[in-house]
Chain A
Amino acid sequence: MSGANCSAFLEQLDQWMEGERSAAAEAHIRSCAECSDLIADLDSIRDTASSLAATDPEPSERLWSALRVQLEDEGLIHAANPGIADSLERWLRGTFWVQPRPVLAGAYLVALIAVGFALSGSSSLRNDSDLWMSRTQHSTQPLSASLETEEDAISSIADTNPVVTASLRRSLAVIDNNIALCEKSVREEPQNEFARDYLYEAYQQKADLIAQVTEGDEGQ
């Protein structure tokens, strides 16, 4: 499937997730592995989100901005055609609107990462190493920025237990180091799926850890 068809499908993403499915969109999903995988990921995210309790507000504008920047970097949206970002944003806002803040932090960041990586695979030029590297960098840079901002926010959390604080800090350092190593590998072998998977998981771990710290702080 061409990138244009993917773009057309992604512009209707929120409608698809709400069950409004055109024949063209269904035909596209049957033939496009990337979009099919993305839908599977979003279904999974929605199922997880719907199983959680409801209380509190929406994600920060900073995170929405990060997602929009990422989509722009991917070339999937631009100023004159913000339909995809709007569609995805509407759906994510609807899904995460009712989630409690600590849950939202982790689940939303994981969603952001999942969507970012799913979209990074929507290339019709898979054999081009430069494109792989470029797309990986474009996918991870906004995510990294978002996570670092969240990390800065939690660095001020004063844990009264130094053993716990030391463990959290060491683990964050380990994850950051792993991210750096994985990114280096991806730079060396942009088409290496193994390295890309490890990079993806390292970002997930970081999002989970940040959410865990935030949850622990708010629970006290």
Chain B
Amino acid sequence: MSTPSSLSGSLNWKVAGVLVPGLLLMSALPASADKIQRHFKVDARPVVTIHNPNGAITVRAWTKSEVMVVATRATDQVVVDAEQTGNRVDILTRQVSESASPESTRADYEISVPEDAELQIHDDSGGVNVSNVLGDMNVETIAADVDMADVAGYLTVKTVGGSFQCARCAGRLEVSSITGNFRLIDLRSTYVRAQTSEGNILFTGQFLPNSTYRLKNYNGVIEVRFSPEDSFDLSATSLKGKVHNEAKLVPPSHHHLIPHFGNGLFGSYNSGRAMVELSSFDGTINILKRN
């Protein structure tokens, strides 16, 4: 059901102004770099898997019932496989020679998918960028940063050293890392669990009613920004670090339930409709008013 690959790029004088800078950019690539474009017709809620050990992956939603894959290989030391099985499209970068250098095995992807697509992405190094996709997503990287915007669904992101940024994300979010920083901007998620060992976590978003927000690190800064309309129960503990708070909290009625280790802060803000749990071993926790 897959279509044959074809070189992209139909010359058009009207877009020469755009192409010229593009050609200049391509000239920076190794001589054997090439671009491959493929199209796959799909039904509702297709599954798209991308396994690319080295290179950038950019995924955007569009209105067509089609998956378009544009792959740019650095050299012929890597092979790009893209095939369709039913409503699933699998994209894989394979290294031809084990002795090839990292530069020669790089492959970059620009992929367009229906907005209800489910994504499974594995990228060791390079970078992952996803926008406007509303299906569930699972992203795993080692060193690659992950950048998402305007996405929803059940999002699970796991990096080793890559940072993670999510802007205007909704749905459910679970993200973990060892040395990555997290920036969770203007979130509208009903469940957030974010854990990193040596990294900062910034949360600016709505604390939705009946929702849970758990942010945790070993060291670094955890910062949440709240607005006067927010309503949450707060638990903030740093064993060795400090907790700074600008929220006027009502202390909990059951004092015996409060842990007595480290520097802790517990209480309700407004009627306590969301649950916010912040914990750090050696880091600083800031609970600040949103500007």
> Which residues on the B side are within 8 Å of A79 (C-beta)?
none
CB of B239 within 8 A of CB of A171, answer no
Given A194-B262, A198-B281, do A164 and B124 touch, yes or no (CB 8 Å)? Answer: yes
The interface on chain B, measured as residues whose beta carbon lies within 8 A of the other chain's beta carbons, has a size of 30
Report A136-190 residues with CB < 8 Å from chain B CB.
160-164, 166-168, 170-171, 174-175, 178, 181-182, 185, 189
For the complex, is A195 an interface residue (Cβ under 8 Å from B)? Answer: yes
How many angstroms between the C-alpha atoms of A161 and B99 in the bound complex?
11
B161 contact from A167, A178, A194, Cβ within 8 A: A167
> Which residues on the B side are within 8 Å of A18 (C-beta)?
none
Give B158 Cβ to nearest chain A Cβ, in Å. 9
For the complex, is B54 an interface residue (Cβ under 8 Å from A)? Answer: yes
B143 contact from A167, A182, A194, A205, Cβ within 8 A: A167
CB of A161 within 8 A of CB of B102, answer yes
Main secondary structure of the interface of B (DSSP, over half): loop
B281 contact from A162, A168, A181, A193, Cβ within 8 A: A181
For the complex, is A212 an interface residue (Cβ under 8 Å from B)? Answer: yes
| Mask of A202-218 contacts with B, CB within 8 angstroms, 1/0 | 10010001001000100
How many angstroms between the C-alpha atoms of A166 and B178 in the bound complex?
13
CB of A205 within 8 A of CB of B261, answer no
CB of B53 within 8 A of CB of A161, answer yes
Given A160-B102, A161-B124, A161-B125, do A209 and B178 touch, yes or no (CB 8 Å)? Answer: yes
Residue from the set B54, B162, B239 with the largest chain A CB neighbour count within 10 Å = B239
CB of B161 within 8 A of CB of A171, answer yes
Pull 27 A–B residue pairs with CB atoms less than 8 Å apart, ordered by A: A160-B101, A161-B125, A164-B124, A167-B125, A167-B142, A167-B143, A167-B160, A168-B160, A168-B161, A170-B179, A171-B178, A171-B179, A171-B197, A174-B178, A174-B198, A175-B178, A175-B197, A178-B197, A181-B282, A189-B261, A192-B239, A193-B261, A194-B261, A195-B239, A202-B218, A209-B160, A216-B142
The 7 closest A-B CB pairs, nearest first, are A167-B161, A167-B143, A171-B178, A194-B261, A163-B125, A161-B102, A174-B198
Binding site for A on B (CB under 8 A): 53-54, 95, 98-102, 105, 124-125, 142-143, 160-162, 178-179, 197-198, 218, 237, 239-240, 259, 261-262, 279, 281-282
Binding site for B on A (CB under 8 A): 160-164, 166-168, 170-171, 174-175, 178, 181-182, 185, 189, 192-195, 198, 202, 205, 209, 212, 216, 220
